[in-house]
Structure 1
Amino acid sequence: MADAYKILIVDDDPHICEIVQVYCEREGFISSYSHNGAEAMKLLVSFQPDLIVLDVLLANENGIDWCRNARAYTDAPILFLSSREEDEVKISALSYGGDDYVTKPFSPGVLMAKIRAHLRRVSKGRREQLLELPGLTLDFYAQTVNMGSESIFLSQKEFNLLSYMAQNVNRPVSVDALFQLVWGMESLKDTRTVAVHISNLRKKIEADPANPERIITVRGGGYMLVARGAAQVRT
Protein backbone atom coordinates (compact mmCIF):
# COMPACT_ATOMS: atom_id res chain seq x y z
CA MET A 1 0.00 0.00 0.00
CA ALA A 2 3.03 2.28 0.16
CA ASP A 3 2.47 3.40 -3.44
CA ALA A 4 -1.34 3.62 -3.23
CA TYR A 5 -2.91 6.89 -4.28
CA LYS A 6 -4.49 8.98 -1.54
CA ILE A 7 -7.94 10.50 -2.08
CA LEU A 8 -9.39 13.24 0.13
CA ILE A 9 -13.20 13.48 0.16
CA VAL A 10 -14.71 16.78 1.34
CA ASP A 11 -18.50 16.69 1.59
CA ASP A 12 -20.94 17.60 4.36
CA ASP A 13 -23.11 14.57 3.51
CA PRO A 14 -21.76 11.54 5.45
CA HIS A 15 -23.58 9.16 3.08
CA ILE A 16 -21.78 10.58 0.05
CA CYS A 17 -18.43 10.35 1.86
CA GLU A 18 -19.06 6.70 2.70
CA ILE A 19 -20.08 5.80 -0.86
CA VAL A 20 -17.04 7.47 -2.42
CA GLN A 21 -14.74 5.97 0.21
CA VAL A 22 -16.05 2.43 -0.44
CA TYR A 23 -15.45 2.76 -4.18
CA CYS A 24 -12.01 4.26 -3.61
CA GLU A 25 -11.04 1.34 -1.40
CA ARG A 26 -12.26 -1.10 -4.08
CA GLU A 27 -9.77 0.56 -6.42
CA GLY A 28 -6.97 0.09 -3.89
CA PHE A 29 -6.79 3.80 -3.00
CA ILE A 30 -6.25 5.16 0.51
CA SER A 31 -9.01 7.60 1.37
CA SER A 32 -9.89 10.04 4.11
CA TYR A 33 -12.84 12.39 4.43
CA SER A 34 -14.05 15.48 6.21
CA HIS A 35 -17.47 17.12 6.54
CA ASN A 36 -16.33 20.72 7.03
CA GLY A 37 -13.88 23.06 5.36
CA ALA A 38 -11.70 23.97 8.35
CA GLU A 39 -11.06 20.34 9.26
CA ALA A 40 -10.52 19.46 5.61
CA MET A 41 -7.85 22.14 5.25
CA LYS A 42 -5.90 20.66 8.18
CA LEU A 43 -6.32 17.22 6.66
CA LEU A 44 -5.08 18.51 3.33
CA VAL A 45 -1.76 19.48 4.91
CA SER A 46 -1.32 16.31 6.98
CA PHE A 47 -2.76 13.74 4.55
CA GLN A 48 -1.25 15.23 1.36
CA PRO A 49 -3.75 13.67 -1.05
CA ASP A 50 -3.08 12.86 -4.70
CA LEU A 51 -6.64 13.88 -5.62
CA ILE A 52 -9.51 15.69 -3.90
CA VAL A 53 -13.24 15.08 -4.34
CA LEU A 54 -14.96 18.30 -3.21
CA ASP A 55 -18.58 19.39 -2.77
CA VAL A 56 -19.49 22.88 -3.94
CA LEU A 57 -21.77 23.45 -0.96
CA LEU A 58 -20.13 22.74 2.38
CA ALA A 59 -21.64 23.49 5.79
CA ASN A 60 -21.01 27.19 6.48
CA GLU A 61 -18.56 27.44 3.59
CA ASN A 62 -18.40 27.69 -0.17
CA GLY A 63 -16.48 24.79 -1.68
CA ILE A 64 -15.19 27.00 -4.49
CA ASP A 65 -13.60 29.34 -1.94
CA TRP A 66 -12.11 26.29 -0.20
CA CYS A 67 -10.67 25.14 -3.51
CA ARG A 68 -9.10 28.53 -4.17
CA ASN A 69 -7.48 28.53 -0.70
CA ALA A 70 -6.33 24.91 -1.09
CA ARG A 71 -4.34 25.82 -4.18
CA ALA A 72 -1.79 27.50 -1.90
CA TYR A 73 -0.98 24.03 -0.49
CA THR A 74 -1.53 21.51 -3.26
CA ASP A 75 -1.44 20.95 -7.02
CA ALA A 76 -3.49 17.75 -6.70
CA PRO A 77 -6.45 17.46 -9.10
CA ILE A 78 -9.69 18.70 -7.54
CA LEU A 79 -12.87 17.04 -8.78
CA PHE A 80 -16.06 18.86 -7.80
CA LEU A 81 -19.09 16.77 -6.86
CA SER A 82 -22.24 18.87 -6.61
CA SER A 83 -26.01 19.07 -6.98
CA ARG A 84 -25.59 22.50 -8.59
CA GLU A 85 -26.06 22.27 -12.35
CA GLU A 86 -25.92 25.96 -13.34
CA ASP A 87 -23.30 26.76 -15.94
CA GLU A 88 -22.06 29.76 -13.97
CA VAL A 89 -21.34 27.55 -10.93
CA LYS A 90 -19.44 25.03 -13.06
CA ILE A 91 -17.46 27.81 -14.75
CA SER A 92 -16.60 29.37 -11.40
CA ALA A 93 -15.53 26.01 -9.91
CA LEU A 94 -13.24 25.26 -12.85
CA SER A 95 -11.91 28.82 -13.00
CA TYR A 96 -10.82 28.87 -9.35
CA GLY A 97 -8.72 25.72 -9.31
CA GLY A 98 -11.06 22.83 -10.07
CA ASP A 99 -10.09 20.20 -12.64
CA ASP A 100 -13.43 18.46 -13.23
CA TYR A 101 -17.11 18.68 -12.29
CA VAL A 102 -19.60 15.87 -11.66
CA THR A 103 -23.25 16.55 -10.83
CA LYS A 104 -25.33 14.70 -8.23
CA PRO A 105 -26.91 12.22 -8.39
CA PHE A 106 -23.86 10.59 -9.88
CA SER A 107 -22.75 7.21 -11.14
CA PRO A 108 -19.98 5.85 -8.88
CA GLY A 109 -18.54 4.06 -11.90
CA VAL A 110 -18.28 7.30 -13.89
CA LEU A 111 -16.80 9.10 -10.89
CA MET A 112 -14.12 6.44 -10.46
CA ALA A 113 -13.33 6.51 -14.19
CA LYS A 114 -12.75 10.27 -13.95
CA ILE A 115 -10.60 9.81 -10.82
CA ARG A 116 -8.48 7.18 -12.56
CA ALA A 117 -8.04 9.44 -15.60
CA HIS A 118 -6.80 12.33 -13.47
CA LEU A 119 -4.49 10.03 -11.49
CA ARG A 120 -2.93 8.78 -14.73
CA ARG A 121 -1.92 12.35 -15.47
CA VAL A 122 -0.58 12.71 -11.91
CA SER A 123 1.42 9.50 -12.39
CA LYS A 124 2.89 10.73 -15.68
CA GLY A 125 3.89 13.99 -14.02
CA ARG A 126 5.59 12.07 -11.22
CA ARG A 127 7.59 9.88 -13.58
CA GLU A 128 8.82 12.94 -15.41
CA GLN A 129 10.11 14.32 -12.13
CA LEU A 130 12.08 11.25 -11.06
CA LEU A 131 15.85 11.46 -11.43
CA GLU A 132 17.77 8.22 -10.98
CA LEU A 133 21.50 8.15 -10.31
CA PRO A 134 23.53 5.10 -9.29
CA GLY A 135 22.39 4.32 -5.75
CA LEU A 136 20.44 7.58 -5.46
CA THR A 137 16.93 8.55 -6.59
CA LEU A 138 15.47 12.06 -6.35
CA ASP A 139 11.72 12.57 -6.58
CA PHE A 140 11.16 16.22 -7.45
CA TYR A 141 7.38 15.80 -7.17
CA ALA A 142 7.43 14.52 -3.58
CA GLN A 143 10.76 16.19 -2.77
CA THR A 144 12.17 12.98 -1.34
CA VAL A 145 15.48 11.13 -1.72
CA ASN A 146 15.97 7.38 -1.67
CA MET A 147 19.19 5.39 -1.38
CA GLY A 148 18.23 1.88 -2.40
CA SER A 149 15.18 1.04 -0.31
CA GLU A 150 16.00 3.64 2.35
CA SER A 151 14.28 7.03 2.41
CA ILE A 152 16.57 9.88 3.46
CA PHE A 153 15.12 12.90 5.25
CA LEU A 154 16.51 16.18 3.96
CA SER A 155 15.65 19.73 4.90
CA GLN A 156 14.25 21.93 2.13
CA LYS A 157 17.59 23.65 1.55
CA GLU A 158 19.49 20.35 1.58
CA PHE A 159 17.10 18.92 -0.99
CA ASN A 160 17.40 22.03 -3.16
CA LEU A 161 21.21 21.86 -3.03
CA LEU A 162 21.25 18.18 -3.91
CA SER A 163 18.67 18.49 -6.68
CA TYR A 164 20.54 21.33 -8.37
CA MET A 165 23.80 19.40 -8.27
CA ALA A 166 21.98 16.28 -9.51
CA GLN A 167 20.70 18.20 -12.51
CA ASN A 168 24.32 19.16 -13.16
CA VAL A 169 25.74 15.77 -12.26
CA ASN A 170 29.49 15.31 -12.87
CA ARG A 171 29.84 19.05 -13.48
CA PRO A 172 31.26 21.54 -10.95
CA VAL A 173 28.79 24.04 -9.51
CA SER A 174 30.09 27.21 -7.94
CA VAL A 175 29.25 28.29 -4.39
CA ASP A 176 27.83 31.53 -5.78
CA ALA A 177 25.45 29.63 -8.06
CA LEU A 178 24.30 27.34 -5.23
CA PHE A 179 23.79 30.24 -2.85
CA GLN A 180 21.79 32.27 -5.36
CA LEU A 181 19.58 29.34 -6.30
CA VAL A 182 18.83 28.11 -2.77
CA TRP A 183 18.84 31.37 -0.82
CA GLY A 184 17.64 33.62 -3.62
CA MET A 185 20.35 36.24 -3.26
CA GLU A 186 23.98 36.96 -4.02
CA SER A 187 26.41 35.11 -1.77
CA LEU A 188 28.59 38.19 -1.12
CA LYS A 189 31.44 35.71 -0.71
CA ASP A 190 29.61 33.88 2.08
CA THR A 191 31.04 30.41 1.52
CA ARG A 192 30.42 29.12 5.03
CA THR A 193 26.61 28.95 4.75
CA VAL A 194 26.79 26.62 1.76
CA ALA A 195 29.66 24.64 3.34
CA VAL A 196 27.62 23.96 6.49
CA HIS A 197 24.66 22.65 4.48
CA ILE A 198 26.91 20.56 2.24
CA SER A 199 28.49 19.08 5.36
CA ASN A 200 25.06 18.16 6.74
CA LEU A 201 24.09 16.69 3.38
CA ARG A 202 27.23 14.56 3.27
CA LYS A 203 26.42 13.14 6.71
CA LYS A 204 23.15 11.85 5.27
CA ILE A 205 24.22 10.43 1.91
CA GLU A 206 27.92 9.59 2.24
CA ALA A 207 29.22 6.28 3.61
CA ASP A 208 32.16 8.22 5.08
CA PRO A 209 31.34 11.96 5.33
CA ALA A 210 34.95 12.78 6.20
CA ASN A 211 36.07 11.28 2.88
CA PRO A 212 33.18 12.05 0.55
CA GLU A 213 32.80 10.22 -2.73
CA ARG A 214 29.42 11.54 -3.88
CA ILE A 215 29.74 15.28 -3.23
CA ILE A 216 33.31 16.38 -3.75
CA THR A 217 34.86 19.79 -3.20
CA VAL A 218 36.14 21.43 -6.37
CA ARG A 219 39.28 23.53 -6.20
CA GLY A 220 38.40 27.17 -6.77
CA GLY A 221 35.22 27.21 -4.72
CA GLY A 222 32.51 24.80 -5.70
CA TYR A 223 31.07 21.31 -5.39
CA MET A 224 30.26 18.45 -7.72
CA LEU A 225 27.90 15.51 -7.39
CA VAL A 226 29.77 12.52 -8.81
CA ALA A 227 27.86 9.66 -10.39
CA ARG A 228 29.26 7.28 -12.97
CA GLY A 229 26.78 6.13 -15.58
CA ALA A 230 24.19 8.69 -14.42
CA ALA A 231 20.70 8.17 -15.79
CA GLN A 232 18.59 10.87 -17.34
CA VAL A 233 15.26 12.10 -16.03
CA ARG A 234 12.74 9.34 -16.72
CA THR A 235 9.87 10.09 -19.08
Structure 2
Amino acid sequence: MTDSGPRVLVVDDEPAIRRFLRTSLDAHGYVVFEAINGKEALSAAAAHRPDLIILDLGLPDMDGIEVTRLLREWTQIPIIIVTVQEQERAKIAALDAGADDYVTKPFGMGELLARMRASLRRAASPAGEPVFSSGQLTVDLGRRLVTIGEREVQLTPTEYDLLRTLVAHAGKVLTHRQLLRQVWGVGYESETHLLRVNMSNLRHKLEPDAARPSYVLTEPGVGYRLRTNA
Protein backbone atom coordinates (compact mmCIF):
# COMPACT_ATOMS: atom_id res chain seq x y z
CA MET A 1 0.00 0.00 0.00
CA THR A 2 1.07 3.63 -0.48
CA ASP A 3 1.33 6.17 2.29
CA SER A 4 -0.72 8.81 0.49
CA GLY A 5 -4.06 8.18 2.21
CA PRO A 6 -5.44 10.05 5.26
CA ARG A 7 -3.27 9.54 8.34
CA VAL A 8 -5.08 8.12 11.37
CA LEU A 9 -3.77 7.77 14.91
CA VAL A 10 -5.45 4.90 16.79
CA VAL A 11 -5.18 5.22 20.58
CA ASP A 12 -6.31 2.12 22.48
CA ASP A 13 -4.68 -0.13 25.08
CA GLU A 14 -6.40 -3.27 23.78
CA PRO A 15 -4.16 -5.05 21.20
CA ALA A 16 -7.16 -6.79 19.61
CA ILE A 17 -8.91 -3.47 18.96
CA ARG A 18 -5.78 -1.88 17.53
CA ARG A 19 -5.20 -4.91 15.28
CA PHE A 20 -8.80 -4.87 14.07
CA LEU A 21 -8.71 -1.15 13.33
CA ARG A 22 -5.32 -1.30 11.62
CA THR A 23 -6.43 -4.16 9.34
CA SER A 24 -9.75 -2.50 8.49
CA LEU A 25 -8.34 0.98 7.97
CA ASP A 26 -5.39 -0.32 5.92
CA ALA A 27 -7.88 -2.02 3.62
CA HIS A 28 -9.64 1.32 3.05
CA GLY A 29 -6.46 3.22 2.20
CA TYR A 30 -5.74 4.88 5.53
CA VAL A 31 -2.24 5.23 6.95
CA VAL A 32 -2.40 4.05 10.56
CA PHE A 33 -0.28 4.96 13.57
CA GLU A 34 -0.83 3.50 17.01
CA ALA A 35 -0.52 4.52 20.65
CA ILE A 36 -1.39 2.48 23.73
CA ASN A 37 -1.82 5.25 26.31
CA GLY A 38 -2.35 8.96 26.71
CA LYS A 39 1.30 9.91 26.91
CA GLU A 40 2.08 8.03 23.70
CA ALA A 41 -0.98 9.57 22.05
CA LEU A 42 0.19 13.12 22.75
CA SER A 43 3.70 12.36 21.48
CA ALA A 44 2.43 10.55 18.38
CA ALA A 45 0.01 13.37 17.53
CA ALA A 46 2.86 15.87 17.62
CA ALA A 47 5.27 13.62 15.72
CA HIS A 48 2.99 12.29 12.98
CA ARG A 49 0.45 15.13 12.66
CA PRO A 50 -2.39 12.76 11.73
CA ASP A 51 -5.49 13.89 9.87
CA LEU A 52 -7.74 12.20 12.43
CA ILE A 53 -7.48 10.55 15.86
CA ILE A 54 -9.52 7.57 17.09
CA LEU A 55 -9.29 7.74 20.87
CA ASP A 56 -10.41 5.25 23.51
CA LEU A 57 -11.65 6.83 26.75
CA GLY A 58 -10.36 4.08 29.05
CA LEU A 59 -6.58 4.44 28.86
CA PRO A 60 -4.23 3.13 31.56
CA ASP A 61 -2.38 6.36 32.38
CA MET A 62 -4.98 9.11 31.83
CA ASP A 63 -8.52 9.17 30.54
CA GLY A 64 -9.36 10.12 26.99
CA ILE A 65 -11.13 13.28 28.15
CA GLU A 66 -7.88 14.65 29.53
CA VAL A 67 -6.04 13.61 26.36
CA THR A 68 -8.66 15.46 24.30
CA ARG A 69 -8.34 18.56 26.45
CA LEU A 70 -4.54 18.55 26.11
CA LEU A 71 -4.72 18.03 22.35
CA ARG A 72 -7.15 20.92 21.98
CA GLU A 73 -4.59 23.25 23.52
CA TRP A 74 -2.62 23.15 20.26
CA THR A 75 -4.53 21.35 17.49
CA GLN A 76 -7.96 21.03 15.91
CA ILE A 77 -7.29 17.55 14.48
CA PRO A 78 -10.67 15.74 14.38
CA ILE A 79 -11.04 13.37 17.35
CA ILE A 80 -13.50 10.47 17.35
CA ILE A 81 -14.00 8.94 20.79
CA VAL A 82 -14.45 5.18 21.17
CA THR A 83 -16.24 4.23 24.38
CA VAL A 84 -18.16 1.38 25.95
CA GLN A 85 -21.96 1.39 25.89
CA GLU A 86 -23.86 3.45 28.46
CA GLN A 87 -21.04 5.86 29.29
CA GLU A 88 -23.32 8.83 28.65
CA ARG A 89 -21.57 11.21 31.03
CA ALA A 90 -18.21 10.33 29.55
CA LYS A 91 -19.48 11.00 26.02
CA ILE A 92 -20.78 14.42 27.07
CA ALA A 93 -17.56 15.28 28.91
CA ALA A 94 -15.46 14.24 25.91
CA LEU A 95 -17.52 16.31 23.49
CA ASP A 96 -17.41 19.30 25.85
CA ALA A 97 -13.62 18.87 26.01
CA GLY A 98 -13.44 19.21 22.22
CA ALA A 99 -13.98 15.77 20.70
CA ASP A 100 -15.79 15.80 17.36
CA ASP A 101 -17.78 12.58 17.55
CA TYR A 102 -18.02 9.22 19.26
CA VAL A 103 -18.85 5.59 18.58
CA THR A 104 -19.74 3.00 21.19
CA LYS A 105 -18.17 -0.43 21.59
CA PRO A 106 -18.97 -2.77 20.02
CA PHE A 107 -19.21 -0.73 16.83
CA GLY A 108 -19.69 -1.56 13.17
CA MET A 109 -16.81 -0.68 10.90
CA GLY A 110 -19.22 0.84 8.39
CA GLU A 111 -20.48 3.33 10.97
CA LEU A 112 -16.97 4.27 12.08
CA LEU A 113 -15.81 4.79 8.48
CA ALA A 114 -18.83 7.02 7.77
CA ARG A 115 -18.12 9.13 10.85
CA MET A 116 -14.45 9.35 9.87
CA ARG A 117 -15.35 10.55 6.37
CA ALA A 118 -17.70 13.18 7.81
CA SER A 119 -15.04 14.44 10.24
CA LEU A 120 -12.41 14.62 7.50
CA ARG A 121 -14.82 16.50 5.21
CA ARG A 122 -15.52 19.05 7.94
CA ALA A 123 -11.81 19.54 8.57
CA ALA A 124 -11.18 20.07 4.85
CA SER A 125 -14.05 22.51 4.32
CA PRO A 126 -13.15 26.18 4.11
CA ALA A 127 -14.09 28.13 7.21
CA GLY A 128 -17.18 30.29 7.01
CA GLU A 129 -18.94 28.28 4.32
CA PRO A 130 -21.67 30.78 3.26
CA VAL A 131 -24.32 28.26 2.14
CA PHE A 132 -25.21 24.95 3.76
CA SER A 133 -27.40 22.39 1.99
CA SER A 134 -28.77 19.05 3.10
CA GLY A 135 -31.64 17.46 1.22
CA GLN A 136 -34.31 20.16 0.75
CA LEU A 137 -32.82 22.36 3.49
CA THR A 138 -30.64 25.32 2.49
CA VAL A 139 -29.16 27.84 4.91
CA ASP A 140 -27.57 30.94 3.36
CA LEU A 141 -25.58 32.40 6.24
CA GLY A 142 -24.58 35.53 4.36
CA ARG A 143 -28.20 36.44 3.61
CA ARG A 144 -29.67 34.91 6.80
CA LEU A 145 -32.01 33.02 4.48
CA VAL A 146 -33.42 29.57 5.30
CA THR A 147 -35.38 27.62 2.72
CA ILE A 148 -36.99 24.21 2.40
CA GLY A 149 -37.13 23.53 -1.34
CA GLU A 150 -38.48 26.78 -2.78
CA ARG A 151 -40.21 27.82 0.45
CA GLU A 152 -38.62 30.42 2.70
CA VAL A 153 -38.75 29.53 6.40
CA GLN A 154 -39.35 32.30 8.92
CA LEU A 155 -37.36 31.77 12.11
CA THR A 156 -37.16 33.76 15.32
CA PRO A 157 -33.73 35.24 16.14
CA THR A 158 -33.14 32.49 18.71
CA GLU A 159 -34.20 29.72 16.33
CA TYR A 160 -31.88 31.13 13.66
CA ASP A 161 -28.96 31.36 16.10
CA LEU A 162 -29.59 27.75 17.08
CA LEU A 163 -29.64 26.63 13.44
CA ARG A 164 -26.59 28.74 12.60
CA THR A 165 -24.65 27.06 15.42
CA LEU A 166 -25.67 23.63 14.18
CA VAL A 167 -24.65 24.58 10.63
CA ALA A 168 -21.25 25.79 11.83
CA HIS A 169 -20.68 22.30 13.28
CA ALA A 170 -22.72 20.31 10.73
CA GLY A 171 -22.31 16.58 11.15
CA LYS A 172 -20.78 17.00 14.61
CA VAL A 173 -22.51 16.14 17.87
CA LEU A 174 -23.12 19.25 19.97
CA THR A 175 -23.99 18.70 23.62
CA HIS A 176 -26.86 20.47 25.33
CA ARG A 177 -24.30 22.46 27.30
CA GLN A 178 -22.39 23.54 24.18
CA LEU A 179 -25.55 24.71 22.42
CA LEU A 180 -26.85 26.58 25.46
CA ARG A 181 -23.51 28.31 25.96
CA GLN A 182 -23.14 29.31 22.31
CA VAL A 183 -26.73 30.42 21.69
CA TRP A 184 -27.80 31.84 25.07
CA GLY A 185 -24.42 32.57 26.66
CA VAL A 186 -22.46 31.73 29.79
CA GLY A 187 -24.69 30.99 32.75
CA TYR A 188 -27.42 29.24 30.76
CA GLU A 189 -25.72 25.85 30.53
CA SER A 190 -28.30 24.18 32.79
CA GLU A 191 -31.39 25.72 31.17
CA THR A 192 -32.18 22.65 29.10
CA HIS A 193 -35.88 23.54 28.88
CA LEU A 194 -34.96 26.61 26.77
CA LEU A 195 -33.09 24.41 24.35
CA ARG A 196 -35.81 21.76 24.25
CA VAL A 197 -38.60 24.27 23.51
CA ASN A 198 -36.67 26.13 20.82
CA MET A 199 -35.44 22.90 19.23
CA SER A 200 -39.02 21.63 19.06
CA ASN A 201 -40.15 24.88 17.41
CA LEU A 202 -37.24 24.77 14.95
CA ARG A 203 -38.01 21.19 13.98
CA HIS A 204 -41.67 21.97 13.37
CA LYS A 205 -40.57 24.63 10.88
CA LEU A 206 -37.85 22.58 9.15
CA GLU A 207 -38.87 18.95 9.27
CA PRO A 208 -41.43 17.17 7.06
CA ASP A 209 -42.30 15.18 10.21
CA ALA A 210 -41.08 16.78 13.45
CA ALA A 211 -41.64 13.51 15.31
CA ARG A 212 -39.19 11.78 12.96
CA PRO A 213 -36.61 14.45 12.19
CA SER A 214 -34.41 14.02 9.15
CA TYR A 215 -32.22 17.12 9.55
CA VAL A 216 -31.70 17.86 13.25
CA LEU A 217 -31.01 14.48 14.82
CA THR A 218 -31.13 13.70 18.54
CA GLU A 219 -28.20 11.98 20.22
CA PRO A 220 -30.12 10.57 23.21
CA GLY A 221 -29.00 12.01 26.51
CA VAL A 222 -26.14 13.89 24.86
CA GLY A 223 -27.25 16.57 22.39
CA TYR A 224 -28.01 17.14 18.72
CA ARG A 225 -26.38 16.69 15.32
CA LEU A 226 -27.24 18.45 12.04
CA ARG A 227 -27.28 15.81 9.35
CA THR A 228 -25.14 16.57 6.34
CA ASN A 229 -26.59 14.08 3.84
CA ALA A 230 -30.34 14.01 4.50
Partner of 2:125: 124
For 2:43 and 2:6, locate their aligned partners in 1 and report how far apart those are by CA, in whole Å: 19
Q: In the TM superposition, what are the counterparts of 1:28-177 in structure 2 within 5 Å?
A: 28-125=29-126
Contact 1:50–1:77 (Cα < 8 Å) also in 2: yes
Unaligned regions of 5+ residues in structure 2, if any? 130-230
Report the Cα offset of residue 3 of structure 1.
4.2
Greater gyration radius: 1
Unaligned regions of 5+ residues in structure 1, if any? 129-235
Cα root mean square deviation, aligned: 1.8
After superposition, give the CA deviation of every residue in 1:118-158 in whole Å (9 maximum; x if it has no partner).
Answer: 112223249x9xxxxxxxxxxxxxxxxxxxxxxxxxxxxxx
Partner of 1:7: 8
Q: Which runs of 4+ in 1 moved over 3 A?
A: none
For 1:3 and 1:115, locate their aligned partners in 2 and report how far apart those are by CA, in whole Å: 17
Contact 1:23–1:112 (Cα < 8 Å) also in 2: no
Contact 1:82–1:103 (Cα < 8 Å) also in 2: yes
For 1:23 and 1:124, locate their aligned partners in 2 and report how far apart those are by CA, in whole Å: 26
Contact 2:3–2:31 (Cα < 8 Å) also in 1: no
Partner SS state of residue 61, structure 1: coil
Q: Name the amino acid aligned to 2:44.
A: L
Report the Cα offset of residue 86 of structure 1.
2.9
Q: Name the amino acid aligned to 1:83.
A: V
Report the Cα offset of residue 90 of structure 1.
1.2
For 2:111 and 2:46, locate their aligned partners in 1 and report how far apart those are by CA, in whole Å: 28
How many residues are paired up? 127
For 1:125 and 1:111, locate their aligned partners in 2 and report how far apart those are by CA, in whole Å: 24
For 2:44 and 2:83, locate their aligned partners in 1 and report how far apart those are by CA, in whole Å: 21
Partner SS state of residue 125, structure 2: helix
For 2:44 and 2:115, locate their aligned partners in 1 and report how far apart those are by CA, in whole Å: 23
Q: In the TM superposition, what are the counterparts of 1:174-193 in structure 2 within 5 Å?
A: none
